[in-house]
Amino acid sequence: MRYRRLGRTEQVVSEVGLTARALDGLAPEVAGATLQAAISAGVTLIAMDARDSASDLEPMIAAIAGTDRPRLTIVAVLDHLPSPEELAPEVAAIAGRFGDRGYVDVVAFPQAPSPAHLAALADLRSRGLAFYAGIATSDEATARAAIEGGHVDVLVAPLNLPRRASMRAALEAAAANDIGVVLAGRVVTGASFNEGRLAEVLQQTATERGVTPAQALVVWGLGEPGVGSVAAGATSPAEATEIARASDCAPLPARWVEALRGVAG
C-alpha cells in the first residue's frame, strides 16, 4: 500500500480506502472480517455515513483498529446539514460511539458549512472530537462554492463514473486549492461487474494491464486531480484485499484514461 497526504491537512492516508456503507446489511462476522482484511492490507482511510441513530459500525471499527486507531482517518459523511447548535452534540455522539476517547478526523457536510458551523467545528477540535471540515456532494456547483469560499479542507466526491465526470471542474478546483479529495463508492468486482460500454472499455484496460476491472477503476480514480484516496466499497475479505492491491498497480496509460473518460461522459 502506498500513502498520500490528504491535501493541506496533516492526514497521510492510504491510496485505497474503504467505504463503510458497503458493510451495511452484512452478517457481523463478514463485516468484521472484511474490515480486518482492509486494515491488514494497509487501508487507513474509512469513509462512513454518520447517522443520529446508534450504529454497530463505530464500535466495530474501534475494536478492530485497537491501538492502531491513530493511524486511521475516519471521514464522517453527514446526510443532512444540522444547525450550528445541533452540530456539536451530533458529532460528539458519533465520536463517542468509537469509545471513551473516540473522535472523527473529517466531518463532511452535504452543503457548504456556514461560519457558525465552522465555529462549532473549532469547538469540537479544541475538545479533540473532530478536526477537519469537508463537503460530500455530487453537485459541481455546491462543491466549487465550498472549495473556492475556503470553507472546507476535504472534498468527498463520487467514485461512480458518470457522476464523477460531471465533477471534473470541482476536482480541478480542489487540486488548485490544495483540498484533499476522496473518491468514495461501491466497486463491483468479478463476474458481477456492470455491463455496458464503460464496463467493456474498463475490462479491455484491465486485460491489457494484467489487473482486475475493479483495480483498473481504482487506479483510474487515483489519477484524478487532487485525489488522496479512493474509498472503495467491499463486501467480503477477498474483495477488500483485491481492491487494496490496486495501490501497487502502475498508472493507466493516457490513451486508456482518455478512452474511459470518453465513455463515462
Query: Can you give the pLDDT at residue 4?
Result: 96
For the stretch 122-147, pLDDT in tens is 999 999 999 999 999 999 999 999 99
> Rounded mean pLDDT of the chain?
87
> Under 8 Å CB-to-CB from 239, ≥6 apart: which residues?
34, 187, 189, 214
Query: Can you give the pLDDT at residue 212?
Result: 85
Residue 155 has phi, psi (to 5 degrees) of: -115, 125
For residues 42-68, average pLDDT: 82
Regarding predicted confidence, which is higher, 181 or 199? 181
Q: How many CB atoms lie within 10 A of CB 184?
A: 28
Number of domains the chain is built from = 1
Query: Can you give the pLDDT at residue 68?
Result: 80
Give CA angle at 246 (242, 251), nearest 5°.
Answer: 155
Angstrom distance (rounded) from CA 152 to CA 179: 8
Q: How many CB atoms lie within 10 A of CB 208?
A: 12
**Is pLDDT above 90 for 174?**
yes
CATH code at 193? 3.20.20.100
Distances (CA, A) of 42 to 2, 15, 99, 170: 8, 9, 23, 28
Query: Can you give the pLDDT at residue 193?
Result: 43
Contact 240, 20 (CB under 8 A): no
Distances (CA, A) of 35 to 22, 128, 139: 10, 25, 29
95: left (phi over 0), alpha (psi -120 to 50) or beta: alpha
The secondary structure of 26-69 as a DSSP string is S-HHHHHHHHHHHHHTT--EEEEEE-SS--SHHHHHHHHHGGGG
Strands (E) across the chain are located at 3-5, 12-14, 16-19, 45-50, 73-78, 106-109, 132-136, 154-158, 180-186, 227-233
Q: Kindly report which listed range (51-55, 56-60, 92-96, 107-111) carries the lowest average pLDDT score.
A: 51-55
For the stretch 183-195, pLDDT in tens is 998 765 444 344 4
For residues 214-223, average pLDDT: 88
**Is pLDDT above 60 for 53?**
no
163 pLDDT band (50/70/90 cuts)? low
The model scores a pTM over 0.85: yes
Query: Can you give the pLDDT at residue 198?
Result: 67
Contact 58, 97 (CB under 8 A): yes
The parent domain of residue 125 ranges over 3-264
For residues 192-203, average pLDDT: 62
**Is pLDDT above 80 for 80?**
yes
Q: At 15, list the grid cell.
A: 491510496
For residues 252-261, average pLDDT: 78
Q: Kindly report which listed range (2-16, 48-62, 203-217) carries the lowest average pLDDT score.
A: 48-62
Contact 34, 235 (CB under 8 A): yes
Query: Can you give the pLDDT at residue 191?
Result: 41
User: Residue 180 CA to chain centroid, in angstroms?
Assistant: 11
Q: How many CA within 13 A on the CB side of residue 210?
A: 3
